[in-house]
Amino acid sequence: MTTAQEIMHPGAQCVTEHESLATAAKLMRDRGVGALPICGENDKLIGIITDRDIVVKCIAAGLDPSATTAGELAEGRPLTIEGEDDIEQVLRVMEQYRVRRLPVIDHPAHKLIGMISEADVARHMPQARIAEFVSAICAEDD
- In this prediction the pTM is 0.81
Which residue, 81, 129, 77, is CA-closest to 105?
A: 81
pLDDT tens per residue across all 142 residues of the chain: 889 999 998 878 899 999 999 999 999 999 988 899 998 887 788 889 999 999 999 999 999 999 999 999 987 788 999 999 999 899 999 989 988 899 999 877 778 889 999 888 888 877 777 778 877 888 664 4
| Interatomic CA distance for residues 6 and 8, integer angstroms | 6
What is the side-by-side order of every strand in the sheet holding 111-117? 9-10, 111-117, 101-106, 81-82
Domains and their CATH numbers in the chain: 4-138 (3.10.580.10)
Q: Provide Rg for the chain, Cα atoms.
A: 15
- Rounded CA-CA distance 98/56 in Å is 19
